[in-house]
Amino acid sequence: MQKYLISWLRNNLGLVVLLIVSFFIYAPSLSGDFIIDDIPLVRDNPYIRDIGHISRYFTKGLWENSVHEISTEKRYLPMTLVPMLLNYKLWGSDPFGYHAFLLLLHLANTCLVYALIRKLVTGSAMAATVGAAIFVLHPTKVGSVAWVIGGVEPLVTFFLLGALLAHQSFVNSFNSKKEWRYLLLSLLCFQLALWSKETAIAFPLIVVAHDLIYRRKIDWHAVALHAVVIVVYLIARNLVLGTTGKSEGIDVSQFSRAIDFALGYSELLVFPINVPFYLEPPEHFVSSALGVVSAIMIAMLAVFCWRAFDIGRRKAFTFSVVWMIVLFWPAILLAFYTAGFYSPRYLYVPSVGLAIFVAVFYDHINAAYPRFKTPLIVSCALIVAFYGFFTWKEIPAWHDDGAIYGKIAKDAPENAVGFLGLGYYFFHRGDFDAAERNLLLVLQKAKTPELRVEALTVLGTINGINNNLDRSESYLQEAVKIAPGNSDAWSGLGNLAWMRGSAYEAISFYEKALSIRANNYEAATNLALAYDKTGQSQRGELIRQQAAAMSH
């Protein structure tokens, strides 16, 4: 056993060094807080605190299993919350454990990419190490490692790689018992991948491409069984969500946006100097002149590789292109939605294909031009160091809500959402001046009434705290005028009435707030006090008991 371990380490020393270096580059992410969607889905989520809730993951949509219990957001991702459940059992609400899990998962994916390359290319450890280095250290990975909910990308990649490696073992095995064992493992990993993210539905095309490229014979039994898994998944998805997909909002005329997005993703792959992050679709072009340069470089390099590679390397090159195209479909599809969402994290899964391509390209140059071996190694080291530096530089932007919303506001200053996030961030930390500055920007930039109402409500609260009661009332009255169903704004008006000594008026406002949202803890608590003030202590005690139940 010891001899085997020493031999393995000697043959795979590059991978070991890469994993150690990558760990230290990503280590700052371990101190990160919960941000954005982590709050309702992880930190405050009651459904990850008891294993008895796990059945809900498969019978309810993702956001129905959050603290918000929203049924309108149609996402069926049962596996997404399973790691959160396990992490909660280990770490509770400490974000360190969740970040550690994601970093280890990312490093595990790197090992799987390395193993896949060694099977698909020539078995060269150095080529596999270079390809794996591009995968693990590419700056577009940061949002999927430093953001807890962003970890859905590493999760689906882990299962897809497992499914493909198992399929390879199945088709390359001649022992019948082994064959079916590996096939069952491939099917299981594929099912888990589907439960992790819808992207995985294209995996059978990867299976077909693999068999055609490497065996010239498709194993239709495996393809058929993978198709059965898809059918079962779609039936379950339809039963839970009432739909198998989201077709509303698609605008097939958005070709210019699709081209812009494609160039933007090309730019991110080749020149990831600045990796933007948007919570809402940006109103500006996401690509620049570098996007055009990147697309031309990729096209020229692809033509060169096709002409220069021998048959074996051409197979690996072809498979890498198929992987990237087939598993890049969600990003392209989203360009045609009216909202047109763009996100660098969608490159996580397709970048496995990039890693394979880089490995086979390195292997070809190393074999065809042996006198350039040293310059080749130095060039690869510089590129990897370049990516590693910008990855390390990007991580602090994901440290907490203040950092990430600051990044969002910088990347899309025309959108209000980043400034709204900053407003909340500073408000919860008691920096009311900074909060008010950002919320006033929201009023200038908001394109939807929902964003405007949120800003008005918090501005009303801030001015109430600062004893600017007239200004506070003006903000809150405007909020309820735009959105009469806003419980927090009515509760804010109740607070103003209480501060002015009008307990009965405060009661009417608090009751209005609770009639809209029964679990409004602040309104219930203050209503109990208002009842006490007006001599209705029994009613006050009843409301106080209800409020206590809410807090649990």
With pLDDT > 70 as the criterion, what percentage of the chain qualifies? Answer: 95
The answer to whether the CB of 167 falls within 8 A of the CB of 182 is: yes
Q: Model's pTM, two decimal places?
A: 0.91
Q: Rounded mean pLDDT of the chain? A: 89
Say if residue 176's pLDDT is above 60: no
Give the other-Cβ count within 10 Å of 454's Cβ: 24
What is the b/e burial string over 418-432, where b = at least 16 CB atoms within 10 angstroms of the residue's CB? Answer: bbbbbbbbbbeeeeb
Q: What is the pLDDT of residue 382?
A: 92
Q: What is the pLDDT of residue 503?
A: 87
Q: What is the pLDDT of residue 312?
A: 87
Q: pLDDT tens digits for 500-526?
A: 888 889 889 988 988 898 888 888 888
Q: What is the pLDDT of residue 69?
A: 78
Cα 214 to Cα 312, 316, 352: the distances in Å are: 9, 9, 18
Q: What is the pLDDT of residue 248?
A: 57
Mean pLDDT calculated for residue range 43-51 = 88
Q: In angstroms, rounded to a whole number, what is the distance separating the alpha carbons of residues 61 and 39?
A: 17
Q: pLDDT tens digits for 180-217?
A: 888 999 999 999 999 999 889 999 999 999 999 988 88
H helix count then E strand count, the chain: 27, 0
Q: Is 481 helix (H, G, I), strand (E, B) or coil?
A: helix
Burial class (CB in 10 A: 0-12, 13-18, 19+), 529: middle
Q: What is the pLDDT of residue 21?
A: 95
Q: 546 falls in which pLDDT band (50, 70, 90)?
A: confident
Q: pLDDT tens digits for 445-497?
A: 998 899 999 999 999 999 999 999 999 999 999 999 999 999 999 999 999 99
What is the b/e burial string over 359-393, where b = at least 16 CB atoms within 10 angstroms of the residue's CB? Answer: bbbbbbbbeeeeeeeeebeeebeeebeebbebbbe
Q: What is the pLDDT of residue 283?
A: 83
Give the other-Cβ count within 10 Å of 272's Cβ: 20
Please provide the distance, in angstroms rounded to a whole number, between the alpha carbons at the two ends of the chain. Answer: 53
Q: 391 falls in which pLDDT band (50, 70, 90)?
A: very high
Q: pLDDT tens digits for 306-337?
A: 888 888 889 999 999 999 999 987 787 887 77
Q: 174 falls in which pLDDT band (50, 70, 90)?
A: low
Q: What is the pLDDT of residue 436?
A: 95
Q: What is the pLDDT of residue 454?
A: 93
Domains defined for the chain, CATH in brackets:
2-395 (no CATH), 401-551 (1.25.40.10)
Per mean pLDDT, which of 247-256, 381-390, 538-547 is the most reliable? 381-390
Residue 539 or 482, more confident: 482
Q: 67 falls in which pLDDT band (50, 70, 90)?
A: confident
Q: 93 falls in which pLDDT band (50, 70, 90)?
A: confident
The answer to whether the CB of 348 falls within 8 A of the CB of 140 is: yes
The answer to whether the CB of 230 falls within 8 A of the CB of 194 is: yes
With pLDDT > 90 as the criterion, what percentage of the chain qualifies? Answer: 55
Q: What is the pLDDT of residue 370?
A: 84
Q: In angstroms, rounded to a whole number, what is the distance separating the alpha carbons of residues 417 and 386?
A: 31
Q: 123 falls in which pLDDT band (50, 70, 90)?
A: low
Q: In angstroms, rounded to a whole number, what is the distance separating the alpha carbons of residues 271 and 291?
A: 9
Q: In angstroms, rounded to a whole number, what is the distance separating the alpha carbons of residues 532 and 203?
A: 63
Q: pLDDT tens digits for 326-378?
A: 998 778 788 777 667 888 999 999 999 999 999 999 998 888 888 888 888 88
Q: 2 falls in which pLDDT band (50, 70, 90)?
A: low
Say if residue 71's pLDDT is above 70: no
For the chain, what is the radius of gyration of the CA atoms?
27
Structure tokens at 139: 């700056």
Q: What is the pLDDT of residue 73?
A: 72
Q: What is the pLDDT of residue 252?
A: 67
Say if residue 267's pLDDT is above 80: yes
Q: In angstroms, rounded to a whole number, what is the distance separating the alpha carbons of residues 104 and 422?
A: 30
